Chain A
Amino acid sequence: NAGVTQTPKFQVLKTGQSMTLQCAQDMNHNSMYWYRQDPGMGLRLIYYSASEGTTDKGEVPNGYNVSRLNKREFSLRLESAAPSQTSVYFCASSRTPSTGPLGELFFGEGSRLTVL
C-alpha cells in the first residue's frame, strides 16, 4: 500500500535555484494538497487541487506554483528558491473535496528542503 508518495525526500538548494517536488497517490482520490510545516507554526496550506483540472491558492502561495498533471499526480514548483522556503513539505490527498464530511487527509512522508 503505497498511499501518497513524495520525491525527493531531501534536497539542498542555493538561493535562486529552481526545483519541483513530485507527489503521486494511488488511492483514486479526487483532491490533493501541498502543505509546509515549520516549527511553532503547524501546517500551512500552500496550494490545493479540489479535483483534476483545478488548482487554488491556500494560505501561503507566494513563491510557489503547482500543476495537477492528472488525477494521481500533483507537483509543487519553486521557481527561484529563497531561504524563507526552507521547510518540510507535505503532500496530502483526500477522497472528496473539502465541502464534505469525508475529507480526511492522507499524507506523504514529507520532503525536507533546505535553501542556502
Chain B
Amino acid sequence: AQSVAQPEDQVNVAEGNPLTVKCTYSVSGNPYLFWYVQYPNRGLQFLLKYITGDNLVKGSYGFEAEFNKSQTSFHLKKPSALVSDSALYFCAVRDREGYSTLTFGKGTMLLVSP
C-alpha cells in the first residue's frame, strides 16, 4: 500500500520569507512524487514531479522540492513567498513498480501574509 502524510494542516509565512510545506511518503518500492496546488473554487493544478535523477526538482511559479530517500520526504520549498502563493497544496505519490493510481495527502493550507 502507498500513503502520503502532510503533517501540517496550515503553514503561515510572511511575504518575502522562505516557505516549506512538508510531505512524507510510504511505498513498497521506489516512488514517483508530485505536488499540486488548488486555488479557491478551482481544480488542482500540477506544480512539479520527481521521477528520477537530481533530488532537487524545480517547478512552476518558482517552487522547488527536494527528494530525500533516506527520510522518505519530498518537501515543497520556495525562497521568497508571495501573497498570491496562498492556496491549498497537495503532495501525491505513486509506486514505480506495477500498476497503481496516484494517492494524495490531505493537503496543507499555505497562508502568506503581506
Partners in one complex: yes
B51, CB-defined interface residue at 8 Å: yes
Cross-chain pair count, CB within 8 angstroms: 59
The residues of B that contact A41 with a CB separation of less than 8 Å are: 106
The answer to whether B51 and A105 have CB atoms under 8 Å apart is: no
A34-52 contacts to B, CB under 8 A, are 35, 40-45, 48, 50
Quick one: which of B52, B90, B102, B106 has the most chain A CB within 10 A? B102
A11, CB-defined interface residue at 8 Å: no
The chain A residue sitting closest to B50, CB to CB, is A101
Q: Which of A35, A42, A103 contacts B94 (CB 8 A)?
A: A103
Interface size class of A (residues with CB under 8 A): 20 to 34
A110 to B43 alpha-carbon distance, docked (Å):
6
Given known A-B contacts A105-B44, A109-B42, A98 and B90 have beta carbons under 8 A apart? no
The chain A residue sitting closest to B100, CB to CB, is A98
The answer to whether B34 and A98 have CB atoms under 8 Å apart is: no
B73-114 contacts to A, CB under 8 A, are 90, 94, 96, 98-107
B68, CB-defined interface residue at 8 Å: no
Q: Which of B32, B36, B106 contacts A101 (CB 8 A)?
A: B32
B12, CB-defined interface residue at 8 Å: no
A50 to B98 alpha-carbon distance, docked (Å):
14
A50 to B45 alpha-carbon distance, docked (Å):
20
The answer to whether B46 and A105 have CB atoms under 8 Å apart is: yes
A81 to B17 alpha-carbon distance, docked (Å):
46
